[in-house]
Structure 1
Amino acid sequence: MHERKSTKITFRWYAYVLILNAIGLARLAEKVFNETGGFASRYLPLVLTLAVSIGVYGCIASRPIYKRWIWRLLLNLLIVISIGLLIFAGYLLFFAGASAITAAMGLLFIFIVLLPGLIKLQQYSSKSAEFWHS
């Protein structure tokens, strides 16, 4: 028999959203406690992780949240940011020396954590026009 795919949010996605938002919150806390960075440097990681979390929820729950073009814009922005992370991590690994290995590994970790969210955002923003107009 053919089973219908469940739209129930599984534990792994709850855990993913929790980890993703914890990373954004940890970055905010680090910047606030060290009194470094400006407004964007402090709050943008948390805002982006919250936006990805909302997109993951919308995809899994099959609920249109706001407009499709917003999710496509966010996806494209995050793809550009991810490519930038990979390029900068590569630069740090190959040209900045041993002292930058920790920073490069941190950037690679962020990319790896962000990847499932990017995949879900791509699936979400690619849903049919009927889905978005319902």
Structure 2
Amino acid sequence: LFSVSAPCALKSNTTCDECLQNVTCLWCITTKKCIEYPVKSILPSNSVCPLNDARWGLCWLNFQILIITVSVLAGIIIIAILVCCFCCCKCEKIGRKREDMQMERQTRLRKDRQKARRSEIQMRHDEIRHKYGETNSFFCVA
């Protein structure tokens, strides 16, 4: 069913393509050795194979360039996420300010209308007092 890949060391002194058929193998160009990828250390040390000469996954892709590219892409993604978060927070804050200003404007308009109504009612009361000859502010009820 499943073919068990030959150990990496058996593919030394062959070609990079043959070595990298096994995903766990690392090809070193200078020594032409196919070695087990050092999973515990994440990156292969210079004593195993210099990063510039190491190939993993693809023969044409320099391991050092792969690491740099992945790091740069990760950095760009993180910066993009931070910028998006900053913009969203700022837009939300601007929207809230706009709502607050609108509420304040509506409150001011309401107070102005109330003041106008009060003065209108006061004018009517004054007219009624004047019409019936009462000068004080209390109506006399007999």
Question: Same fold judged by TM-score > 0.5?
Answer: no
TM-score norm. by structure 1 comes to: 0.27
Give the number of the structure with larger relative contact order, counting CA–CA contacts within 8 Å between residues 6 or more apart: 1
Q: TM-score, normalised by structure 2?
A: 0.26
| Structure number with bigger Rg | 2
